[in-house]
Chain A
Amino acid sequence: MTGPLQDWKGQRRPFAAIASLPVFWLALFFVAPMTIVWLYSFGQNAGPADIDISGTLDNYKRATEWLYLSIFLKSLAVAALTTLICLIVGFPIAMAITFAAPRWRPWLLLGIMLPFWTNLLIRTYALMALMGTNGYMNKGLGGLWEGASWLRTLVGMQPLEAWTPVQLLYNNFAVVLGLVYVHLPFMVLPLYSALDRMDKSLIEASLDLGAGHFKTFMKIVVPLAAPGIVAGVMITLIPALGAYLTPDLMGGTESQMIANVIERQFKRANDWPFGAALSFLLIYAMFILIALQSMRTNKSMERG
């Protein structure tokens, strides 16, 4: 390989020139701050604004108590459910965009990305305005209910009892719904890019050779979209696991997630060392997950 920049080993100098700036950037603004927070996780408060890094493991001991582990597990369950719903809802959307007429595609993609142009906080408040006790959803449902009641009186039946608003906000349902709403674009975009690259003649071949639509979908489309699914799941699951605004604003009394607990350590509790330990526990877990995943990939490559 002697082509220009085909292989960094043959072209060390240009490679170094290109890579130095991003590496410097990452080291200064990512590695250095993360290292400081990592060191904090082995420290203890020595005053309102001082942290003494003493190498203690107390923070980790506290962070692995059942109280915090149970919140971790609950957050993981909420994030996993959010990801699953995003996948189920997002796949047909990605398919629809892939198979839409080419001149429509940019507009449909724009529609998916449009919410990103609005601040997350504004979107969450809008959703809250929609779902509140006296929100538009409840008003709409109340209107339908009264309509049904009126129809019953027309045919001589007892009218329905008065409409009581449905409790949509301030519970776990609202948190999952809010998270799905926020994270759906993260799922649709990688799925779309995977589906878009798919050779569509394979679908035709499958259908021609007698497979049904469902079988074609399961045996051809889904396996070919697998890289997109994996990317979409990762890119949805991880931010959903770290969500704190949505559970704070839309959740009920039991909807706290691990990110809320971490946030409170850095703010109100002013216990940065413990907050750092909780954050790094999350990061260690991610590393282990990714390491397991890559070990599995290596094994299957060896076999193949």
Chain B
Amino acid sequence: MDFKTFLHAGSNRRAMLKGMGVAAVGFSLTGALAGCGEKDAAKLANGEEAKLNFYNWDTYIGETTLEDYMDKAGVDVNMTLFASNDELFAKLRAGNQGYDVIVPSNDFVERMAAADMLTELDKAQIPNFKNVAPDYQDVPYDPARKFSMPYTWLALGIGYRKSKVKSVPDSWKVLFDSDEYKGRIAVLSEAGDMFRLYGKYIGKSVNGLTDADLKTIEAMMIKQKPNIKSFHEDNGQDLLLKGEVDVVLEYNGDIAQAMVEDPDIGFVIPKEGSQLNSDNLCIPKGAPHPKNAHAFINYLLDAEAGKKITETILYPTPNDAAKALMPAEYKNNAVIFPPADILAKCEYAKFNPELQPKYEEAFTRVRAA
């Protein structure tokens, strides 16, 4: 609870999700201004002006990546920030205000593709696609990578304080179905993730939940509610660092950052399997500089550039060439790269427009119970 922790609360992109909601209004104007008002820049060989508007998460790029790209390609990258997929979607829903490259998560790639908001990528302009790990070259949420290139990926699991648990909490039971850590548990407030992970616990696929399953899970959640301290807004690593809770549902990348600060923190993906997420580089429809956008995405997938990004943000990278350049303590970190047998049991959540409102309503009932 020192001041450093307090300041740190805002230092990674997923922790910012909630907080920036308030500031989102302030940011919304910058996007509209991004594309206009500057004097004519020199034309590039591809016939486009030397500009690019990049819409990214906060603290989600290498320290010098944009300057390096300026030196290499002579393109001035103007980066603006969003705080949640919902914000990104809401902003582009009314039409593209001038963004060239955006970074939606996997289910939003599906949602935006379904809403005809993404441009098909021309792979001939992205030769560095070969650097991408085979597992990420073809993914269920974007078959044959028609609309997106992988940027990072994450897995949900249990972060815990080693000195306060009897054994490694390697089952969802600890969070979802037990009073062993009564009052010291925090779980996510995102209804969809919660229902899908409960589904994993009762042995279902995250994409195979039926209405009857939702009923069962709702009853389980209501039963477990008295043991839970907080439905956190994706700031579980802070709750763990401050000692508010001892077991928490969080993303591996966030807990990996917390472990740098506090060696008493551990992370495990439960044996029942979990849900994977991935952030992706996409070009929205109506992008003013599509050729620059392709070139920039290609640059971000470059080995050296990818290494510099990964060094800063410390998330798992799907870029094999970049990973090969990283030090062993990153490559062999079991939190950042969980064991393959566990990963095999993890799934991506599909975008499901019928189920999402049902998840929300059921979770509202759980909270009101």
Considering the chains assembled together, what is the distance between the CA atoms of A202 and B20 in angstroms?
51
**Interface: A157 (CB within 8 A):** no
Considering the chains assembled together, what is the distance between the CA atoms of A296 and B230 in angstroms?
44
Q: A71-B368, A129-B6 are in contact. Are A170 and B242 (CB under 8 A)?
A: no
- Shortest beta-carbon distance from A137 to chain B in Å: 11
**Interface: A267 (CB within 8 A):** yes
Contact of A267 among B86, B114, B369 (CB under 8 A): B86
- Shortest beta-carbon distance from A164 to chain B in Å: 11
Contact of A245 among B22, B192, B353 (CB under 8 A): B22
**Interface: A248 (CB within 8 A):** yes
Considering the chains assembled together, what is the distance between the CA atoms of A240 and B21 in angstroms?
18
Instruction: List B residues 324-369 near A (Cβ within 8 Å).
Output: 353, 356-357, 359-361, 364-365, 367-369
Considering the chains assembled together, what is the distance between the CA atoms of A264 and B230 in angstroms?
17
Contact of B1 among A129, A265, A271 (CB under 8 A): A129
**Interface: B261 (CB within 8 A):** no
Does A134 lie within 8 Å of B367, measured CB to CB?
no
Closest residue to B187 on the A side, CB-wise?
A253
Contact of B231 among A125, A253, A267, A270 (CB under 8 A): A253
Does B115 lie within 8 Å of A271, measured CB to CB?
no
Instruction: List A residues 75-108 near B (Cβ within 8 Å).
Output: none
- Shortest beta-carbon distance from A270 to chain B in Å: 6
**Interface: B106 (CB within 8 A):** no
Does B229 lie within 8 Å of A268, measured CB to CB?
no
B interface footprint on A215-232 (CB within 8 Å = 1, 0 otherwise)? 000000000000000000
Q: With a CB–CB cut-off of 8 A, which chain B residues contact A269?
A: 191, 356-357, 359-360
- Which of B117, B229, B233: most chain A Cβ within 10 A? B229
Main secondary structure of the interface of B (DSSP, over half): helix
**Interface: B68 (CB within 8 A):** no
- Shortest beta-carbon distance from B286 to chain A in Å: 14
**Interface: A277 (CB within 8 A):** no
Q: A71-B364, A132-B242, A134-B242 are in contact. Are A48 and B22 (CB under 8 A)?
A: no
Does B364 lie within 8 Å of A49, measured CB to CB?
no
Does A254 lie within 8 Å of B225, measured CB to CB?
yes
B interface footprint on A44-77 (CB within 8 Å = 1, 0 otherwise)? 0101111000000000000000011011001000
Instruction: List B residues 150-195 near A (Cβ within 8 Å).
Output: 183, 189-192
Contact of A252 among B18, B89, B230 (CB under 8 A): B230
Considering the chains assembled together, what is the distance between the CA atoms of A50 and B116 in angstroms?
11
Considering the chains assembled together, what is the distance between the CA atoms of A67 and B225 in angstroms?
17
Considering the chains assembled together, what is the distance between the CA atoms of A132 and B364 in angstroms?
26
Does B368 lie within 8 Å of A170, measured CB to CB?
no
Q: With a CB–CB cut-off of 8 A, which chain B residues contact A48?
A: 111-112, 114-115, 353
Does B22 lie within 8 Å of A132, measured CB to CB?
no
**Interface: A274 (CB within 8 A):** yes
Does A133 lie within 8 Å of B231, measured CB to CB?
no
Contact of A121 among B23, B192, B244, B369 (CB under 8 A): B23
Q: A70-B368, A256-B368, A269-B356 are in contact. Are A133 and B115 (CB under 8 A)?
A: no
Q: A132-B242, A248-B18, A253-B231 are in contact. Are A265 and B114 (CB under 8 A)?
A: no
Q: A67-B364, A252-B230 are in contact. Are A133 and B244 (CB under 8 A)?
A: yes
A interface footprint on B224-239 (CB within 8 Å = 1, 0 otherwise)? 0100111101000000
Does A67 lie within 8 Å of B365, measured CB to CB?
yes
Does B1 lie within 8 Å of A125, measured CB to CB?
no
Closest residue to B22 on the A side, CB-wise?
A121
Closest residue to A48 on the B side, CB-wise?
B115
Q: With a CB–CB cut-off of 8 A, which chain A residues contact B244?
A: 132-134, 169-170
- Shortest beta-carbon distance from B305 to chain A in Å: 32
**Interface: B278 (CB within 8 A):** no
Contact of B357 among A121, A256, A261, A274 (CB under 8 A): A274
Q: With a CB–CB cut-off of 8 A, which chain B residues contact A129?
A: 1, 6
Considering the chains assembled together, what is the distance between the CA atoms of A119 and B26 in angstroms?
12
Instruction: List A residues 243-299 near B (Cβ within 8 Å).
Output: 245, 248-249, 252-254, 256, 261, 264-271, 274
Closest residue to B224 on the A side, CB-wise?
A253
Q: With a CB–CB cut-off of 8 A, which chain A residues contact B208?
A: none
Contact of B190 among A49, A170, A254, A268 (CB under 8 A): A268
- Shortest beta-carbon distance from B223 to chain A in Å: 12
- A-B pairs, 3 with minimum CB distance: A267-B86, A269-B360, A48-B115
Pairs A–B under 8 Å by Cβ, sample size 7: A48-B112, A71-B368, A133-B243, A245-B21, A253-B225, A268-B190, A268-B360
Question: Besides the contacts A129-B1, A256-B368, what 17 more A-B pairs have beta carbons closer than 8 Å?
Answer: A47-B114, A48-B111, A67-B365, A71-B368, A119-B23, A120-B22, A121-B22, A121-B23, A129-B6, A248-B189, A249-B18, A253-B231, A264-B364, A268-B86, A268-B192, A268-B356, A268-B360
List B residues at the A interface (Cβ < 8 Å). Answer: 1, 6, 9, 18-19, 21-23, 84, 86-87, 89-90, 93, 111-112, 114-115, 117, 183, 189-192, 225, 228-231, 233, 242-244, 353, 356-357, 359-361, 364-365, 367-369
